[in-house]
Structure 1
């Protein structure tokens, strides 16, 4: 997985679950707090605190034939229900025990991706200065069922996953910002219609109709992006005019490369990196891996059991952390990246 995809994966699941990674913890009952793009009707009715649009605006250095391509990624919240098959019709339950396994209701997520590009590799600046390019977001509601079997192979229950429809659009446009310079804009909007019951559905009902952890990957060919954090002097004024709404665009890749931008709800610096010592995501980039790993290892047996039962991703964190060798744990303590000789002035 290339650098931008690895960092985008971290952004996508930031705050998905927080330590101690259990469903009963209060902070894991109020989730989906990053990068939300909510239904417009709800956003406007609630005063706009929960935005219905996200906008990335940046500068592209190039010419009329410079090409851009955009990928929008987000999480779609899924309602996981558990049904017990006992004596006929399935019945929804708060807990289903089968041997050593316990199944409980929860909110999971599906990764969604919208790609806006052209043929063969992108849309040109010439195209976008003449006409906006729009791709509709159209995800129908749906569901699936996973059978729960007892040790003998008999079906004793079902895990039912349901998701709501999503509607919206991704729009790209460009305008000249000077000689061989363009202002490039990507707008993501949520126009999901709401029925008459949405006011009584609470926040849970709204987030299931929202784009969560939304972020955008922008690529350019035969041109370069301009850093908005440290623009060259000749582009500083135009960089300051860029309007970004609920997102923060930075250059990604090897230091000095300027062909890719990651625009996310998380404030990053240009060329963010994932430490090579990291063994996986803890969904909380404000903490260091060593602290999170040691904290997981100190959980009680009951807490580990609940962590294992909460979500496949929390189970993966537990299994990954418990499998770390002493040498791997020690490597998380700290690393020297470079040394510099300091000389005292005479």
Structure 2
């Protein structure tokens, strides 16, 4: 984001080390001053030139909007709670498109002259390349993903088709991948992952556009979305001892060879990714005082291993030390678990 907060005690909090900027209206201002402060921040926080206007002549005393933004290479995320306001822009051919997830209902939302009642959870594409506006007299709470259109290969005709689609929240890609990403993006440390998020979001959006419009997409453009979906499936099922590469092949509708090439740039291939998650689960169970009275066989079963020897081999392979040494040295256990968690990407 281009916003640089002023140096004052009541200024928005900025975290340049993780590329996030948090904003809330400073205290001690009159309602009119609050609105002007918000107008200045909002116009600086996104790439498209935007101006805000009041929906009423006077700003309510309770006016207190807020936002949290993350700026990454080729994309931006803004989580905004907006008071009643009208927003206008002049259009910018280099601007990206917004995918907006409305977290609160907006009974009188109007976008570029088209009015509708927005329910909580609605997902919309908003085209910023042409002049437009939105009017939300009741305010809104939303998470907005903005991506450079050129990165998605979207032309004006494609965007118009997307604009004409009904609410897409029930689309499997939206429900299973994009909404969880938008809902969980505020987790600690995500700013450090910004350089890796752009290709993931791009791949998700490419897959979504291809799915919604029944248009073919290049396999390389779908790669990251497929990797994310498969990893999510593995994380959900790794404690099941029946989960193996064949189960992932069946889930993904890919051959073993195609699955191998899909994960060729990942830290772990699929079988090792499953084993790493099980090993991490075992290490965390071993470090939990409440499980000390459980047998090692019980912990192996709870972690998804088919046997205690399989868990012993996995711990040795992942940590470089034996299961007994891990048990006898809590500090080493903690360090090895943290290292493994980082490799897995958790």
Shorter-chain TM-score range: under 0.3
TM-score (ref. length: structure 1): 0.27
Question: Larger RCO: Structure 1 or Structure 2 (Cα < 8 Å, ≥ 6 residues apart)?
Answer: 1
TM-score (ref. length: structure 2): 0.27
